[in-house]
Amino acid sequence: MSKKPNSINTALVRVDYNVPIQNGKILDLKRIEASLPTLNYLIEHNTPIVLMSHLGRPKNINPAYSLKILIKPIERLLNKKVIFIENPQQINIPIGSIGLLENLRFYSGEKQNDRSFCEQLAKLGDFYINDAFGASHREHASISGIKEFFPNKNYKGLLLESELHQLNILKKNPKSPYTIIVGGSKIGSKIHMLEAFLDIADNILVGGGMAFPFIKYSGGDIGQSICQDSELDIVKSFLNKAKLSKTKIIFPLDFLVTKDLVSKEHQKIVDSYKIPMELMGVDIGPKTISLFNEYIINSQSIMWNGPMGVSEINDFSHGTRSLAESIKIATNSGAYSLIGGGDTASDISRFGFEKSFSFISTGGGAMLEFFKNPNLIGFEKLKNLK
């Protein structure tokens, strides 16, 4: 910073505390822990802090998505009292405490990037820090419009700086063979972003829910597996571009299928193009695991975004775990590995592999979007904090 933070000026910090929650319990604190370098730096300089974040995708105010659940973990990690702010117009943060604003997505002005809401938020601080890499591709009030109200007082958090440094390793000079692995269920947006890797990556391995629209488009039977017909045109466009590139696109050979995610009945391995009508694909099969692992082990640069199945259910996590183990081996042999996406990061943590890769990004969509457009809306007009 041109002028160090001090006890007079309050830092308004956009963090990404979109943590996984199940049955009212936080499953993983990694996204909160990732923000600690920035927050501790501000605390060391006696700077009052107001935190703001989103959690989930609530349509409006919904107690199940309240950030109140984060108060105790933040207090424990920072050894500071957290004052909860019910709405942006109500603030009184005692010296030595940290303010935490209620879920930004409870307010319609956040996603609409509404100017009056931006102004409301801006009154909570004297300077602005974006440390929410995972949300930096969103043109939302707390990421985009708010910066107008802090002329020359907009900064990158230390996490954001670290993310950009690591992503630029793959952006500017990936070693070949370079393999991208994509899975998960956010199909439409990811396929658009994958176009940025054509003629850059040597291989793109497509697994998990991502694979089903491709298989269906190619005439395969996918049973009850996830797929929206609106995605088929996107698949067609991508495959036409891929044919003209040097990048290999590799799809699953087989899947583990079941009739129901809860009862887990009728589990069996089937050909990826012949899933019975009443069954759904829930994990990649052994032939696919073997095929994908062969590409991974022979790669020098690896980027992975999205699980290979419904990996939060142990019965359907074998493919995701196996690929994680192969990436770990490749990393130990000198490959650079970048992992991203909330579900993938949670899986890695559950498997006990947090320290097995070159870098684990706090962003999924933002990570892929960066490779398509490194000048994301959230990075504009930001200076370095230190």
The pLDDT tens digits of the residues spanning 282-312 come to 999 999 999 999 999 999 999 999 999 999 8
- Residue 76 is inside which H or E element, if any? helix 71-78
Give CA–CA dist 289/164, Å, rounded.
Answer: 31
- Starting from the edge strand earliest in sequence, which strands make up the sheet with 359-360, in order? 248-250, 203-206, 178-182, 301-305, 336-340, 359-360
Domains and CATH numbers, the chain: 11-161 (3.40.50.1260), 176-334 (3.40.50.1260)
- Residue carrying structure tokens 């929650």: 21
Q: Which residues does the annotation mark as catalytic?
A: 31, 186, 342, 365
Show the tokens assigned to 8. Answer: 């007079």
Q: What is the pTM of this model?
A: 0.87
Q: Which residues contact 65 (CB under 8 A, 6 or more apart)?
A: 55, 56, 58, 103, 105, 106
Longest CA–CA span in the chain (Å) reads 66
Amino acid at 18: N
Per-residue pLDDT of 7-27, as tens digits, reads 468 999 999 999 988 888 898
Residues 200-223 have a mean pLDDT of 95
- Long-range CB contacts (< 8 A, 24+ apart) of 37-41? 37/158, 37/159, 37/162, 38/13, 38/129, 38/131, 38/157, 38/158, 38/159, 38/385, 39/13, 39/78, 39/98, 40/78, 41/5, 41/158, 41/385, 41/386
Question: Is residue 67 pLDDT above 50, yes or no?
Answer: yes
Residues 164-176 have a mean pLDDT of 91
Structure confidence at residue 3 as a pLDDT band (50, 70, 90): very low
CA angle 184, 186, 191 (to 5 degrees): 100
Mean pLDDT is lowest, of 59-68, 187-196, 225-234, for: 187-196
Q: Give residue 101's region: left, alpha or beta (phi > 0; psi -120 to 50).
A: beta
Show the tokens assigned to 103. Answer: 């879920």
Q: Are the C-beta atoms of residues 253 and 288 closer than 8 Å to each other? A: yes
Helices 36-44 and 71-78 sit at what angle, rounded to 10 degrees? 60
Question: Is residue 1 pLDDT above 60, yes or no?
Answer: no
Per DSSP bridges, beta strands 280-284 and 254-258 are antiparallel
State the distance between the two ends of the chain, measured CA to CA, in whole angstroms: 5
Residues 342-350 have a mean pLDDT of 84
Question: Given this model, what pLDDT does residue 188 score?
Answer: 67
